[in-house]
Amino acid sequence: MTLPLRHPDVRSSAVMTRRAWWLLVGNFLVPGSAQVLAGNRRLGRLGLGFTLGLWVALLVAVVLYFVFPTGLYTLATFDLSMLVLQAALVAYGVVWLVLTLDTLRLIRVVRVRPRMRAVLAFATIALLAVSVGSTAYGTYLVGVTRGTLSSIFGGGAMEAPIDGRYNIMLLGGDAGEDREGLRPDSISVVSIDASTGAATIIGVTREFRDFTFAEDSPMHELYPDGYNYDHCNVSVCKLNSVYTEVELKSPELYPDAVAEGSEPGIEGMRDAVESILGLPIQYFALIDMEGFAQLIDALGGVDISYDGTEPLPLGGLLDSDGVPYGVNQWIEPGDWHFNGEQALAYARSRITSDDYARMQRQRQVQEALVRQFEPANVLSKFQDVAEAGSQVIKTDVPQGMLGYFVQLGLKTKSQPIASLELTPPAIDPEEPDYDLVHSMVQEALFPDDSGQ
């Protein structure tokens, strides 16, 4: 087959036409093969080398996926790895472009059947668009991923599990027009077993008061007797006010916070939550509720089941007689598909319910959003999701640990998630029994130990 391809009978248009299709399709399937068979062998070997390298890389990725998935996820989310992948895709795209144009030269279009010349030219352009276009788009996606991950994940130190667990503080931040700065309205801690992935979500009400700070906390110097009604520097003295106070009035208490991928207000909240729960917090994740709507829209909305007994107003206020007005929409009990604006209003609604019911709805929206993060759904809307995600989420989880947490998250997703709500009637946040809180947390996380 080599001689007819390299030294064809140029007088036969039928032979030249068959040869043209062999070379064109062969170059598309195995870049470099056309040159090895009919052209510059050195150029062909270069193309085959790139092709073989791509196949080997894919084979290694498949093997790692089944043998050592954590290593694959870590490698795939490591910034340097993505930079190398971008460079490799660019180089492969350039080589593929050169090989395709050279293949067109080798075809000798003027020697093929006249009626096939336009078809071959069109096929060459189409295959060139597919090959070079796919590598260009792949390069773009890797670049978007790099930018998104670097903007979301910190570059701080990798923390080891404590007592076999990772504890991550989740803050849902809201900066309304009637507020001085941002205040976290949704506060919870996700505690994950570092071996099994078993997770427990601890709901912490923002209404907690009269809590102390550890002696090594900068806040302890300001409030040695506790953070309560008479001891704070903002209008409302409760847990979520710590963020506002530290961020706006005492950022110097945590001078290294920004350099470590955090914020002074977040570090103040970390110290407060650690004291309330009696639990060390390795990492945090702050979710901007204002940008939450954009992320939900990017994912195509969320499915919510509202199980209340009365219709719920989205938006609006109460008049002097306690009657709602200015309501955008009333939500009847049942199943709903919300867009971003509706989901945000659902999570914020409180004119006809208390803060604890709102906490539950916020958690419900967060869980519904997680369910939307299926691979097919994310990939089909990748650019919008990446853009929205970088504006919504901030965390100090180092990018180098992302692969580990992805693998751990897959274990978590395969089993039920336990929950502990530190809200009335179990806990009175205005007159809390912190010994009881600590014992409830320990029993939820280490039930075997508490039973001994």
Residue with tokens 């916020």: 362
Q: Dmax of the chain from CA atoms?
A: 100
DSSP lists the bridge partners of residue 394 as 286
Domain annotation covers residue 61: yes
Q: Name every residue whose Cβ is closer than 8 Å to that of residue 187 and which is 6 or more positions away in sequence.
A: 169, 170, 171, 172, 203, 204, 205, 206, 239, 240, 269, 273
284 and 419 both lie in a single domain = yes
> Residue 348 CB: number of other CB atoms within 10 A?
19
Clarify whether residues 205 and 96 are in a common domain: no
Alpha helices, H only, 69-210: 69-77, 79-107, 114-152
Residue at a domain's end among 91, 118, 152? 152
Question: How far apart are the C-alpha atoms of 27 and 102, rounded to whole Å?
Answer: 10
How many residues are present in the chain? 452
Handedness of CA 203, 207, 210, 213 (dihedral sign): positive
CATH code of 188's domain: 3.30.420.590
Tokens of 22: 């062999």
Structure tokens at 318: 């109460």
User: Within this chain, do residues 381 and 255 fall inside the same structural domain, yes or no?
Assistant: yes
Relative to beta strand 418-422, strand 199-204 is parallel
Backbone angles phi, psi at 425, to 5 degrees: -85, -5
pLDDT of amino acid 2: 47
- Within 10 angstroms of residue 106's Cβ, the number of other Cβ atoms is 19
Residue for token digits 């659902």? 346
CB-based burial, 388-425: b 16+ in 10 Å, e otherwise = bbbbbbbbbbbbbbbbbbbbbbeebeeeeeeebbbbee
Say if 282 falls within a structural domain: yes
Measured from the Cβ of residue 344, the count of other Cβ atoms closer than 10 Å reads: 23
Last residue of a domain, one of 94, 120, 152: 152
CA distance 246 to 279: 21
Q: Are 124 and 241 found together in one domain?
A: no
Number of domains in the chain: 2
Q: Are 283 and 236 contained in the same domain?
A: yes
Q: Match 């965390």 to its residue by tokens.
A: 395
Q: Please check whether residue 27 lies inside any domain of the structure.
A: yes
Query: Which domain does 443 fall in, by range?
Result: 165-300+372-450
* pLDDT per residue as tens, the chain (452 positions): 446 788 887 888 888 999 999 999 999 999 999 999 998 999 999 999 999 999 999 999 999 989 988 888 888 888 889 999 999 999 999 999 999 999 999 999 888 999 999 999 999 999 999 999 999 999 998 998 888 888 888 766 788 999 999 999 999 876 555 555 566 878 999 999 999 999 999 989 888 999 999 999 999 999 998 898 777 888 788 998 999 899 999 999 999 998 888 999 999 999 999 999 999 999 998 888 777 788 888 888 999 999 888 899 998 888 888 888 888 999 999 999 999 999 989 988 888 888 778 878 887 887 788 777 766 666 667 677 777 777 778 889 988 888 888 888 888 878 888 889 898 888 999 899 999 999 999 999 998 765 54
In angstroms, rounded to a whole number, what is the distance separating the alpha carbons of residues 342 and 338?
5
Same-domain pairing of 69 and 144: yes
At 69, list the tokens. Answer: 């998935």
- The whole-number pLDDT of residue 384 equals 76
Distance between start and end Cα atoms, the chain: 78
Nearest one of 418, 345, 450 to 189, comparing CA atoms = 418
Q: For residues 339 and 303, what is the distance between their CA atoms, to the nearest angstrom?
A: 9
> 179 and 143, same structural domain?
no
Residue 425: cis peptide before it, omega within 30 degrees of 0: yes
**Of 106, 124, 152, which residue is a domain's last?**
152
Residue with the two structure tokens 């508490």? 450
Is 59 in the same domain as 143?
yes
Q: Are residues 395 and 264 in the same domain?
A: yes
What is the phi/psi pair of residue 379, to 5°? -65, -35
pLDDT of the residue at 155: 65
Buried b (16+ CB within 10 A) or exposed e, 310-341: eebbbbbeeeeeeeeeebeeebeeeebebebb
Give yes or no: residues 148 and 171 share one domain.
Answer: no
Query: What is the DSSP-derived secondary structure letter of residue 173?
Result: E
Q: Identity (one letter) of the amino acid at 321?
A: D
| Dist CA 266 CA 276 (whole Å) | 15
Q: Give Rg (Cα) of the chain.
A: 30
Q: Measuring CA to CA, which residue among 6, 19, 3, 47 is closest to residue 107?
A: 19
Buried/exposed 216-248: b ≥16 CB within 10 Å, e otherwise: ebbbbebbeebbeeeebebebbbbbbbbbbbbe
Q: What is the SS3 assignment for 280?
A: coil
The alpha carbon dihedral of 43, 44, 45, 49 has a sign of positive
- Asked if 281 and 169 touch (Cβ cutoff 8 Å), the reply is yes
Q: Are both 233 and 293 inside the same structural domain?
A: yes
